[in-house]
Structure formats: structure tokens, C-alpha cells
């Protein structure tokens, strides 16, 4: 399955994408959850984690490569997991630093959020990050996410403590930010 945004297309993972996954996982600037210092992910570890899993036909999780429309470059990944039908999903995003500030991350994020709210019909999307990831937190707030839970000093990264941060976005909040989109489930009770 491929999802189309304004600047990006979200496509399935290919074998040639695995080195990008390694770069993202080993870059402390793109990882909120690095517990192994220094990071030591390998192609084989990434292959076992992502490539050997079949995401294509499952509704409860999916991972996409963010590909730029203008150059066809792989810019990062966006994913969803832990879907509870018509209720919630957990969402994740990692973008290579050279694409920061280009609009690619926001477009990829909004494209996947549109899919989760319009196609899967979820009521709330959650994400987890940490307070030291200032750029990401600002981008998530721009997308409409709000702080839900903060766990003080829940992570040790780059030699200091940071707080874990859970953020969420409700369906009605996303549609309010997108008045051009119609919520086909508005007024429907959750299943």
C-alpha cells in the first residue's frame, strides 16, 4: 500500500532501505529511546526487526518509508502500531537530519494521521518521545498533539536525564485542524 501526501509518498519497506534504518537507529539525534550507548544497530538486527515481519496485510500495525516526491529519496520512516479497532493507535516518526526543516516530516506525519483517522477510524493517536527532543515536540504540537503524560527523568540520554513524554491527538482535534476533510464517523458511537 502507498499513501500520497503533498511532498511525500509513504511506501512499504524495501531491502535497499535497511541501511537508512540503521542510520536512523544509530543516530542519537533521531532517537528518543536509545538505551544502548553507543548505538550499535546492524543491518542484520534491522532486517530481523522490520524486514522479516509481514506488515502488508495487518491492520494493527504498519511501517512506511517516507519517500520524497521530487527526488524519490528515502527520508525516514513513519509507523503505527498497537491499533485497537476504531479506538486508538500508537504512532512513530524518524527522519534523517538532512531533511529536517524541509516540511517532509510534517507532510509524512499528516498523511499517516489522515489514514489512521479516515481509513482506520481511530479515535485517538498516541506518540511517545522525550522532552529533550525539542524540534520533534514542536512539530508534534504543530500537528495538533497535546501533552498527555510526562514522566520526569524517565530516560538517560547523551549523559543527562530527560523526561518521557506521551502526547495524543483526538479525532475531533485533527478534523478541526482540517476543515476541508469530512469526518464520516462524526456522531457515531465508538465500537
Distance CA 129, CA 140 (A): 10
CB atoms within 10 A of CB 21: 24
C-alpha cell at 113: 494521521
Residue 64: pLDDT above 90?
yes
Average pLDDT score over the chain: 85
Instruction: Give the residue with greater pLDDT, 50 vs 62.
Output: 62
What are the DSSP E strand ranges found in 37-123? 62-68, 74-84, 88-95
Cα→Cα distances 34→12, 24, 51, 84, 127, Å: 25, 11, 21, 27, 16
Q: What residue ranges define each of the domains in the chain, with the CATH number in brackets?
A: 3-177 (3.40.630.30)
- What pTM does this model have? 0.84
- pLDDT of 135 strictly over 70: yes
Q: What is the pLDDT of residue 109?
A: 95
Task: Report the relative pairing of strands 74-84 and 62-68 from DSSP bridges.
Answer: antiparallel
Look at 29-33, 58-62, 114-118 and tell me which has the smallest mean pLDDT.
Answer: 29-33
Handedness of CA 127, 34, 29, 72 (dihedral sign): negative
Amino acid at each position: 500500500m502507498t499513501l500520497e501526501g503533498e511532498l511525500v509518498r509513504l511506501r512499504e519497506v524495501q531491502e535497499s532501505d535497511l541501511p537508512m534504518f540503521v542510520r536512523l537507529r544509530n543516530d542519537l539525534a533521531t532517537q528518543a529511546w536509545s538505551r544502548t550507548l553507543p548505538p550499535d544497530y546492524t543491518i542484520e538486527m534491522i532486517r530481523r526487526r522490520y524486514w522479516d515481519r509481514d506488515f502488508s496485510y495487518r491492520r494493527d500495525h504498519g511501517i512506511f518509508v517516507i519517500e520524497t516526491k521530487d527526488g524519490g529519496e528515502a527520508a525516514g520512516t513513519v509507523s503505527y502500531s498497537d491499533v485497537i479497532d476504531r479506538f486508538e493507535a500508537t504512532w512513530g516518526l524518524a527522519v534523517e537530519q538532512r531533511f529536517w526543516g524541509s516540511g517532509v516530516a510534517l507532510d509524512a506525519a499528516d498523511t499517516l494521521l489522515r489514514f489512521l483517522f479516515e481509513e482506520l477510524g481511530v479515535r485517538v493517536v498516541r506518540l511517545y518521545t522525550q522532552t529533550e527532543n525539542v524540534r520533534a515536540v514542536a512539530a508534534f504540537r504543530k500537528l495538533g498533539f497535546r501533552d498527555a503524560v510526562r514522566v520526569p527523568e524517565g530516560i538517560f540520554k547523551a549523559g543527562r536525564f530527560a523526561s518521557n513524554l506521551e502526547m495524543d491527538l483526538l479525532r475531533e482535534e485533527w478534523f478541526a485542524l482540517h476543515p476541508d476533510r469530512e469526518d464520516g464517523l462524526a456522531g457515531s458511537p465508538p465500537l
